[in-house]
Amino acid sequence: MTTPDHAAIAALLDDLDAAASALDVDRFLSYFVDGPEFAFVFNGTVRSSLSEVRAFTLAGWANVAQISFHTEIERIAFPAAGVAIVAGLGRSRRTLKDGQTRAGVYALSLVIVRGPDGWRVLQAHESTAS
């Protein structure tokens, strides 16, 4: 069953995918909470500020000419009012500036909170297949 909250969270993930696929770091980061409880974990490394995530993302995309992300929600839980936990799986495809192409898969877990600006990611964990 789809609820308005499910639809809004699916839209948030679509927006995250679209921003990342456009290589638009500022738009991508606009969907995250900027505060002391923020965390972004990627393959075992924790980043605790948007500036750290921004630097990490820019470095990761420096050699990318084109990229696409597609995330599918596997599960959503609502443990409290205004809080959602999302488990998802995704696929990415990138073309590097030298013309090489690469495809990948990733797993994603998100803690999402509803605030005055709608649903935003408070904490994220992403891991890629090695």
Tens of pLDDT, residue by residue over 42-84, are 999 999 999 999 999 999 999 999 999 999 999 999 999 999 9
Question: Is the Cα torsion angle 18, 24, 29, 30 positive or negative in sign?
Answer: negative
Tell me the sheet residues that pair with 20. Answer: none
pLDDT of amino acid 129: 84
For the entire predicted model, the pTM comes to: 0.93
Ordered by start, the domain boundaries in the chain are: 4-128
Q: By 3-state DSSP, what share of the chain in percent is helix, strand and coil, each rounded to 5?
A: 25, 50, 25
Q: Which CATH class is domain 4-128?
A: alpha beta
Do 54 and 29 touch, CB atoms closer than 8 A?
Answer: yes
